[in-house]
Structure 1
Amino acid sequence: MKKITLSIALLILSTVSAFAQDDVDMATGLRSEGKIYVVVLVMLVIFLGLAFFLFLLDRRITKLEKKNK
């Protein structure tokens, strides 16, 4: 049991150190070229599109529920 616990602890510690790396080349490159704003804008448009679609879908479902009652 101790071996399993120790193995899990070492696995968790090794993954934490892997995620703690500072240098992300893609983000640095996008930020330095000013393209990070394009990425943020595209993500915002996708999010707003999904939110609008869900809003319309909710209205349609509400109309169908009222019609069935």
Structure 2
Amino acid sequence: MIKLRIFITAFLALVVSMVATAQDNTADIGLMRSNGKIFVVMAVVVTILIGLFAYLFTIDKKITRLEKEGPNQ
């Protein structure tokens, strides 16, 4: 149990240090914004989110229909 706790603590420390060093590089965001690529990235993200919400909506409609039919079918 103690070894697991030490491993988790070391892993979290490693992740936090990597995130902290990743925050320093903001030049890439400015480069993407100046080239117009940020709009492509945002379009892809929005498209994926719309697809996920549409999928969830259709699944919800199917489940509601199955619940209304009942277990007699």
Which TM bucket (shorter chain)? 0.5 to 0.7
Secondary structure, aligned partner of 2:45: helix
Secondary structure, aligned partner of 1:21: coil
- Unaligned stretches of 5+ in structure 2? 1-5
Amino acid corresponding to residue 52 of structure 2 in structure 1: L
- Unaligned stretches of 5+ in structure 1? none
Specify the alignment match of 2:55 in structure 1: 53
Identity of aligned residues (%): 37
| TM-score, normalised via structure 1 length | 0.66
Name the structure, 1 or 2, with higher relative contact order (CA <8 Å, separation 6+). Answer: 1
1:42 pairs with 2:47: no
Q: CA RMSD in A?
A: 2.5
Amino acid corresponding to residue 57 of structure 1 in structure 2: I
CA 20–68 in structure 1, closer or farther in 2 if over 3 Å, else same: same
How many residue pairs were aligned?
A: 60
CA 57–32 in structure 1, closer or farther in 2 if over 3 Å, else same: same
Specify the alignment match of 1:21 in structure 2: 24
